[in-house]
Amino acid sequence: MRRAISSMFLVALAAIALWAADASKVLDAATGVVQNMSGNHQIPASLLQEAKCVAVVPKLTKAGFIVGGEHGNGVVSCRTANGWGAPAFITITGGSVGLQAGGEHQDIVLLMNNQGKQELSNGHWDLGAEAAAAGPTGDSAGRTASTGWKAPVLSYTHSSGAFAGADLGGSKIHADNDTIHNLYGSNATFQSLLNGDVQAPASAQQFLSALQQAGK
C-alpha cells in the first residue's frame, strides 16, 4: 500500500512539473479563463480598468481527504505606460486541514491594487485573511472601482467538481523562475517582468489582448 501511494505521489509530481514547464499551455489556458470570465461579466470591466496587476491561475487543483492541499500554475501581468506588460509566471500552493473529501478544479483571477503589486514584487506572498477578498459584481463593483478597494487582492473563481474546505486563505504565491527563464532567457527576472522591462513574446499576445479587451 505504501509503495502504491508513493508511486501515485511521484506520478502527480511529474505531471505538475511537466505542466509548469509548458509556458504556452499556461498562457493558452489563462487566455481562455479571462475570455470566459469577462464574457459573462463575472469580472466587471470597471475593476479591471483600475487593477495594477492581474494574475490568472487556470485549473487550481484541490484534492484530499482529511488533509487537503492545492497547487496551480499561472501568469501575472502588470500595467505599464504602454499597456499590459509581458506576463510573468507564478505558482500558488497551500494546504488545509478539515473534513474534506473529493477534488475540485478552480479557475482563479486575482486583481491587484498598488499594495497588491508591491507585495507580489517580493516574488513570494502569503495570502492571509486580510490579503484577498471576494471580488464584487454588479452595482457594488462600480462603487468599489470609484472609491478604491482596501484588500490588496480581489479574487474571482469558477469551480467544477465538489469540494468542501480549503479556500485561498493561507495560500502562497511564488515566482516560477524556471518557466520564466525557459521562455525569456536566464537574464529575465520576475521583477523586470512586473516592471515592464521585458518585451512580450509572440506566444503571450493572445493573453495580453484578452486582458485589454476585458477592460473595455
Render pLDDT for 59-68 as a digit per residue (tens, 0 to 9): 877 655 545 5
User: Which residue range is the domain that position 92 belongs to?
Assistant: 22-214
In the chain, how many domains are there?
Answer: 1
SS3 for the chain is CHHHHHHHHHHHHHHHHHHHHCHHHHHHHHHHHHHHHHHCCCCCHHHHHHCCEEEEEEEEEEEEECEEEEEEEEEEEEEECCEECCCEEEEEEEEEECCCCCEEEEEEEEEECHHHHHHHCCCEEEECCCCEEECCCCHHHHHHHHHCCCCCEEEEEEEEEECCCCCCCCEEEEECHHHHHHHHCCCCCHHHHHCCCCCCCHHHHHHHHHHHHHCC
Render pLDDT for 151-195 as a digit per residue (tens, 0 to 9): 888 888 876 543 333 356 678 899 999 999 999 999 999 999 999
Render pLDDT for 66-81 as a digit per residue (tens, 0 to 9): 455 677 899 999 999 8
Separation CA 170–CA 127 (nearest Å): 5
**3 occurs within a structural domain:** no
Other C-beta atoms closer than 10 Å to the C-beta of 69 total: 16
Percent above pLDDT 70 for the chain: 68
By the 8 A CB rule, do 46 and 141 touch? yes
Mean pLDDT across the chain, nearest whole number?
A: 77
**184 occurs within a structural domain:** yes
In which band, very low, low, confident or very high, does the pLDDT at 18 lie, cut at 50, 70 and 90? very low
**36 occurs within a structural domain:** yes
**12 occurs within a structural domain:** no
Q: Extract the C-alpha cell encoding 179.
A: 518557466
**10 occurs within a structural domain:** no
Rg of the chain (C-alpha set): 17
**82 occurs within a structural domain:** yes
**122 occurs within a structural domain:** yes
What does pTM read for this prediction?
0.80
**15 occurs within a structural domain:** no
